Structure 1
Amino acid sequence: MNFTQPRLRLLSILSVTLLVVGCASYYLFRHSGAPADEGFVAEQLNEGGMEDIGTLALPEVEKRLNYLIQDTGETLRSLELLNDVQLSLSIETSESADEQPLQYEPLFVPFTSAQLKAELASVQGLRFAQRLFADGSEVRLDTSSLDPLWKRAATPDEPVAEQYLPQRLRFRDGSEQTFAELKAPPKVESDDTISSQDAFALTANKPLASLGLTVSYRSYPAFRKVVLDKDHPQVTLDDGQSFQLTALGDASASVRLSTPKMSTFVVQGLDDAGKALYSNGNNSRAFPSEGDIAALHDYYRALLQTKGDLKQLKTGQAVQQQLERLTQALAAQVGPLKNTEVDYHFEATPQRILIHVLDPMEDSTVEFAQVDNVLAEQTRYIALDRNAERYGFIDQAGQWLIKPRWVQVQDSQLADTYTFFFPEKSSDPDSGWQALRSQLAYFPAGSHQLVDLPFEHIAEALSNGLLLVERETNGPYGLYDAKRHRFVLPMKFVNPTVTDNLFIARLGKRTDVTEGLYGAYTLDGKEILSTQFSGIEHSEGLLYASSADRRRQDVFDLQGKRINRQGDNVIGRFVGRQPLLVQDAKSRKFAFINRQGTRLPITLPYDEVQPFSNGMAVVGRDGNYGAIDLAGRLQVPLEYNQINAFQTRYAAAIRAGGGSGLVLISQNNKVTKELGAYTSMKVPDNGNEARYYVRDPNNDDEYLVYDADGNLVQQDE
């Protein structure tokens, strides 16, 4: 919320401005002897100001003086009607019972001109983008790195209107020219400056390397900061500025300020944490100072005196000159401060009011010697012939290397490689619609002759010039070496994933058709696992592969060596230093193995075993459940109907005979909290992000949500 010098009613021609607030409840000025009603009728008045009084005949000059006298007298009489009351802080303590999440706005932290200048001096990396045409070019500045600075150089409601003026233009071919020499004529008359959102046109179509830039902006040379609250409702500064909090409560606040006339002030309401509450609106009232009113009284008397001297003055020009001398003398009496009272409405009642009073803005400039083109130096550049609506390539001097013939040309993720679009013959020439066909092609080193590539899309650019490529939409994928222009893996795979130095995919020709089995390869094309699995997952340097019939899972190292025994089914994953659970496919017995495949000496006389989670594994026998630690010790006895995966500290469990009553137990079987009858839960393995949804004991239609440590995190219907 910010307010510049208020637009107030101009009283006659004196440089005193004020807004008369009818029925105000506070005393502004005490001036006895306000003028009585002048009693003029319409025929005696000539509405207007002093600026043209010298052109009027004497009868009309007198009528104009009558109008100025009446106008000033009415204002003085209105001020006399204001009542005298003492201002004091009123506090409203009632708050709405319906609490809603509060909205906040950014806390205003302004820059002074000196701070802004220092920040601008440290800015580096300004860039621009250039579009090249057959007959010129277009440049668009990227000034996003300056936006946070401009935001702090302005008030929240009035952004800085910065302007940009390009200076010296430096081209890729080594030549230089000024912006004034190459600026294309604008469609509408304007100066040379541009805004950050605008592009500017040049008559030259040569690719730029960099340019110099002058930025003009406005900023505040200094500011004063004042904080008001219920314990400190009033502050007066050494220069006479005063600030008074007159009302606080019911999600609103009222402030009375006396600040320099050309200054700007920003007011924000802060909560206990110092965050700025969102303001729902405000209204303001401005009123004159003692000096303003004194000058207005003197001006009224000067008007009467001038009317009395009318016979001696003789001409309208003489009257105008006398009034100008009088008003210039009276202007010195006008006070330097403006008085304003503002009411604010917030999302909640603020704990304190923060006020910034900003000095009048000043004009400044900053020079950026080198702003670079985002387009790196190249052998050739894409350019558009706007008349033919076709694209081609130009050299650094702006001359055509390949004349325009494509509807569109797009850069790819690979240097000297482009996607070209050209019309495809339509089977229905009368339809008015023309399809486009695309083709990837590249320029061999030292050549301007294009070579088509045997794929349509570059899905991902990998390291060392390796590309994951796709033949066409929903088509097969392969690995392509762009440096040697050869396939590392042929385009016969679909649904690929590339992680670290691994390529995992299934055989097939279409991504939208289920066919083939998965295999795994290194990025240099070496086979790790042949294509015989229904799925392969890479996790922590190991490969977990599901058999074609999905009945068994094995774990392999990155050389393709199986870690688990033949006939063992892998359950879960290796996580950290925890062992991996396996089960013999024939005997159905469980065991734990380490990363070398060695079975650990952990006895498992159970008919149910779960993988380890946070150092504990749930085990069961005959429908009763407990939990063992990493050494195989039964830390939680088999006395529960259900135990979920252990989180970092606790597990959720249901005691035998406990119905749906959920409790949290520790790793040594201590019940830490009884949650209640659960409806559902989300329990990750080896994490601490569990959520337990429990019936609200006070309302069956609602449930409570607890986190993994038993803390209530929300209450939902």
Structure 2
Amino acid sequence: MKMKRAFTTIIRKTIILPTILLLTACSVESNSQEVVDEFISQFDEMNLDEAKEFLKKEYEGYQQLEALFNGGSFFGDETPKEYAKEDESYSEFPTFAKPEDIEKEYKEFSANAYIIQEYKYPKTTIRVRVDEIEIEVSGNTDYQANKIFFHDGSVDDKIQKFDSWGDLNTTKVIDSIQTTISYSYAEDYKQYEFTDEVNFNGGSIKVAKKQGNMAELIFTGKAKDYEKIIALNDEGKVLEFSSSSSGTKGAKEMSKVYAKAFKKLVNEANNFKTVDKLKKAVRKAYSKLPSINDNEKSYTGFFKGNVSSFIVYMPTNTISKQIDFTLVNKNPNIQKLIYAFDTNKEENCFLNQAGELVMYPNNENFYPENDLYYYTETKNDEDDEDEDPVREIYFLDTDKEQLVKIPEIQSVRTVTNTCVSVEKDGKKALWNAEGKAVTPYIYDWIERVEGSEDIIHVFIDNECGLINTKGETVLPVIYNQISDYTNGRALVNISVERGEKLVMFIDEAGKQAIPLTQYLKATEFSEGLAVVTDKNRKYGFIDVNGKIVLPLIYDDAIPFSHGITLVEYNGKYGLINREGTFIVPATSYGYSMTGMYKRKYHLDRNVYNEYGEIIEEKEY
């Protein structure tokens, strides 16, 4: 998903980007009072030492920017060169998503999105994510938290803006966020082809430099909102892209001025006796800095061939939309103590459920295995790459608020958020959320079952079973295969003399939910339905209660996706919906299918998308 373009230069190397630059990038007026206020407000939650450290990081960010500009390392070792014609590489002219496809993608995105919380202090970081959904939309996206519901039952209804991977002003465990996503996209694009300069309503693009495979362009006015730039060779072929950098013109000079100002603040930091005095000094210093010239932007690109001319695609008739939905924290840490990162001190730490600092591990080589088990790694000679590090295992006692060393074990492997697998004499046991072994060392392998918080896979030889997090047997180790959970059901097969035999679907407690003795085959559930095959080798669909929803009348069938699926009926293939109605008649004698989540069905030389809509028609 495409986010708003920042004015700061896109850099391949990781650097500390100054906060004031990032804030300015998002503002309408580059050196506005609002930007200054927002920057300085970050000191409100800091003590004096934390505020000084934050100021130091700002200065370090400008130092790194200066070094990158001076060293020309945006492109690594890439420099302008001439290509022989036979060495040039080409790509296709770009295509853009249709407005109706963009609408559909955003609706699907909002229906499937969730957050992962990364615990930091004094602000938490969240990532907005989706599983298996390919978002291929253009446009600008903004997120707004309208209400944040915390695990302790409290609610924050102060509106906060955030990015798809950004910070929220809290340190507590989040359960969910009532969210508004605002997005915009172009209904169409107009293309402008030029060699040296092109002018159009409200903007212009000028070629500042062109040498072999490299070109530098300057954008002014509305031209800064371009969607895509492509370079052509002298035959009009699209040259394959190699690398690029874009940013505010004059950013190099601006970074020097800002670095000098913040260096002075850092050197004078010890003179400040309170945070308020430091804030006044920052405001005074910033008021004297020159405004960032956002009138012109530059673009430098390297291509796999000799550049002759360009095409720029400009969006026309921008559409703006909003969707309200809820983002759920998919994997919240609900322990009494939470492992986090103090961004001010750049140290790992532990917070309590109120988001307050409790303690530091005081070991820089300290790592989490899961929410309750941790380890350290040390070497006698840090420079010896062949030396194996010595590992020590710790259990987090959340009641006593301390880390307890477990000397009898040297390695653990995560099974759940609170349980681990521990090996001894070649066999494995499960250790629980209290730092104790709850099974004997009898298993060859222990692993989590996806879709369940309490059920765990265990294996002995070539057979498997299930236990819970207390170490109690749920299913004995006699089965050939037990699937992960989908739609609250897991499929169980057992070994027989001539292969596998279906046994049952089990529920989330590990108890039989659907007996399968009357079927030859079954698939895992997808969208609440599973494919089953009877002894006459006819296919149909059952729901999570075992009820036949679509009769066993098909010669073949695959699981549902996006409310449709492919079936074979009377020797021919077509697409049906959940009611069993053919949305594409069964007239094709063959088929092919590409993609997993975003399927494409090829039937009778026509191509249908994941919703059964025709996207390529056959030609007679």
* TM norm structure 1: 0.38
Larger Rg: 1
Q: Which has the higher contact order (CA 8 A, sep 6+)?
A: 2
* TM norm structure 2: 0.43
